Structure 1
């Protein structure tokens, strides 16, 4: 019998993601692409499905169309277990003409879903983090400690406390204080440099959650971290689950233990991509025992002609013709023309990098046709006049900023005499090198 039988998952995927702008100009944060073929929402959904939690409501709100389409094409539950579901739920406005006013309000507006499902435990999880987690182990902790609410936690450096809900506990893991995004926090026991942060993943006994939501709504409260959890400290048993005790099968020895990243800013999103690169990455995307499921992909294999590649990802349907890629991720159907140079770049679907272009430390959103000899990430002042540039110098080119050049013939690869594709590990001498999708 499954250890997660009668657990209902509610995934909060309504975040606007303003700090990820312009990547969120036309899509919500959970729908933002990640790595070669995933989206951010795929991580929480994969963790739930791998944990044998198959009844999942996905609460959406801002600019949700691309997320809805992604879930419809990629998360049909017949792909996993029949008679279970991943269902997208937009604001129902059953109690008035209002969108979700906060995390707790989004669940309250859909309280009928909980009442009709009648679960024992409700897992309320966020949709905007990169990690692997066996939720079954948290469920076992919750039951073993007779918790009313369990909060997944992990240590964070004190200077970052203002970004998280901060938790204080006693020696038995019971939460004694919960403060949402304080300017300062008390160090956790045994540390002078770190404090305990909430990951935004909660387990509630269903009856406790229903009662708390109704009381919060009556009092005009709308947020779990700011309102509901602090208000339950005296009346209920709130426990802190240590995420670092969570064990994932198939994890390689070189991976960072308890890897978890909040990719809420351009810098953190950019850096998390490069944690997945190389033969010994901090976070390995491929794990057969705990896969992160991606969207179905019918594209052809990638083709590489006489290029120089170092620690890069080339998605299916891509064509690289005599270009240089260093720490670069190409998502699907990207074309990189001759003599182009890409260094520490993320290039999204259906984009083309023109001949001789030089691009460094940049994110190129979908459907961009970069002109020949264009320079991005070379001159910071020139970049700031055209694009969003972070304080650390990462350039973000919005979707379709460079429109497609009209009436261009498709790129044709012309085998040269004895062409070579060089990687950091080997030399390949086929005229066309094909990379599996």
Structure 2
């Protein structure tokens, strides 16, 4: 089978400063999503459903929690060749620098990759939300004799200004490229798209940061140490010298590059028919199974919300929110438009009593609170009678216990918000 000739390389990204403070103590692929998954579960699940089961995850920053998650989750049979391995940036006698970009990360890891037989390298991002059949892209790459294939998404004019835009010929090969063009420069950059995309005014092909390279070509291109990035250098430079194919994908896809995008992606999962379907039997998102009890809910009005396992909820109301594993929410609390990531462990009754005596809030959210437009990171403690109302009326700022970005309040991991706090 052709997918046995594929090696997947998942790029963990840089420091993830735009996702700070969610990336303060973890790498981008390790950030929690939908209350129980990690971002890295998305590309890995896509690969496994396509029977691509040899994967490397390239990381550089805060990779300890990602290592634990990968080790505890993706365990294949001892009698198979399947694996998901972490390749953290390393200094060697021949190389004294950290990863300088996406291509440089693959270059520095090449000696590990070449220990495996493969004909095609599937290069993926670790911070995107989508479901995709990579076998369709691979078959088109092979059938059209491409050297490189780039997954593309038809976008509207306003969206096109945020992406690298590709122009294709009548055989879907890329003829030119422009990076984040202004609206007045867009005429002439239209490509042939399906009738459905035309009806939605999505005439421009944006690069999704998903690539297939023929192995020998990848080795040859990366032999030049001056090229450090796929999207900004290698793809544009290869258009005139190699057959670079645009593979059109028309499903849901979002790049979770900043706090606002991360917040919107999670909250949109609560829609009645969300664009990203977590309930599909054939393309489910895979993650580490946890031995947790069912969630207990007392007297709470729930509307358009998702509740992960192991929660104890006494809230008055939860609306359009995602509540993560092991979350505790006190009596008479109202939570709206909030992503509560949850906790790593429970506090037992003795710990709860000891903290009460010391005036330390328990993990989760206390009694009589009002929380809106907020991300509550893991193991945060929010006391009683707390009001947090995020929104565009708030200016971007950073405090010891929280950060505000684009109107979204992010309560930092392991921080403590005292009783009666108002924001």
Aligned match for 2:237, one of 231, 237, 251? 231
How far is the alpha carbon of 1:277 from its aligned partner?
1.6
Does the Cα contact within 8 Å between 1:47 and 1:132 map onto a contact in 2? Answer: yes
Which residue number corresponds to residue 146 of structure 2?
147
Following the alignment from structure 1 to structure 2, what is the Cα–Cα distance between the partners of residues 385 and 17? Answer: 16
How far is the alpha carbon of 1:164 from its aligned partner?
2.5
Q: Secondary structure at the residue paired with 2:18?
A: helix
The two structures have a TM-score, normalised by structure 1, of 0.83
Once superposed, what is the RMSD of the aligned Cα atoms? 2.2
Summarize the alignment of residues 281-292 of structure 1 with structure 2, pairs less than 5 Å apart.
Answer: 281-292=274-285
The two structures have a TM-score, normalised by structure 2, of 0.86
Following the alignment from structure 2 to structure 1, what is the Cα–Cα distance between the partners of residues 122 and 97? Answer: 24
Aligned match for 1:202, one of 198, 203, 211? 211
Query: Does residue 315 of the first structure (1) align with residue 308 of the second (2)?
Result: yes
Which residue number corresponds to residue 134 of structure 2?
135
Following the alignment from structure 2 to structure 1, what is the Cα–Cα distance between the partners of residues 218 and 130? Answer: 26
Aligned match for 1:189, one of 179, 184, 191? 191
Residues 306-353 of structure 1: CA distance to partner in whole angstroms, max 9, x if unpaired? 111111111111011142100111111111110000001011122411
How far is the alpha carbon of 1:129 from its aligned partner?
0.5
Summarize the alignment of residues 10-159 of structure 1 with structure 2, pairs less than 5 Å apart.
Answer: 10-78=9-77, 82-94=80-92, 95-159=94-158
Does the Cα contact within 8 Å between 2:39 and 2:128 map onto a contact in 1? Answer: yes
Following the alignment from structure 1 to structure 2, what is the Cα–Cα distance between the partners of residues 104 and 378? Answer: 38
Does the Cα contact within 8 Å between 1:179 and 1:226 map onto a contact in 2? Answer: no
How far is the alpha carbon of 1:207 from its aligned partner?
0.6
Query: Does residue 402 of the first structure (1) align with residue 416 of the second (2)?
Result: yes
Which residue number corresponds to residue 359 of structure 2?
none
- Which moves more between the two structures, 83-92 or 334-343? 83-92
* Structure 1, gaps ≥5 residues long: 245-257, 406-437
Following the alignment from structure 1 to structure 2, what is the Cα–Cα distance between the partners of residues 31 and 335? Answer: 22
Residues 153-175 of structure 1: CA distance to partner in whole angstroms, max 9, x if unpaired? 01223333353222111111010
Does the Cα contact within 8 Å between 1:323 and 1:336 map onto a contact in 2? Answer: no
Does the Cα contact within 8 Å between 1:27 and 1:63 map onto a contact in 2? Answer: yes
Following the alignment from structure 1 to structure 2, what is the Cα–Cα distance between the partners of residues 84 and 62? Answer: 25
Q: Secondary structure at the residue paired with 1:201?
A: strand
Which residue number corresponds to residue 421 of structure 1?
none
Aligned match for 2:384, one of 372, 384, 387? 372
Which residue number corresponds to residue 390 of structure 1?
405
Q: Secondary structure at the residue paired with 1:117?
A: coil
Residues 102-136 of structure 1: CA distance to partner in whole angstroms, max 9, x if unpaired? 11100111112333323111111111100001100
Aligned residues: 386
Summarize the alignment of residues 159-308 of structure 1 with structure 2, pairs less than 5 Å apart.
Answer: 159-183=158-182, 186=186, 187-189=189-191, 194-214=203-223, 216-217=224-225, 220-244=226-250, 258-308=251-301
Which residue number corresponds to residue 248 of structure 1?
none
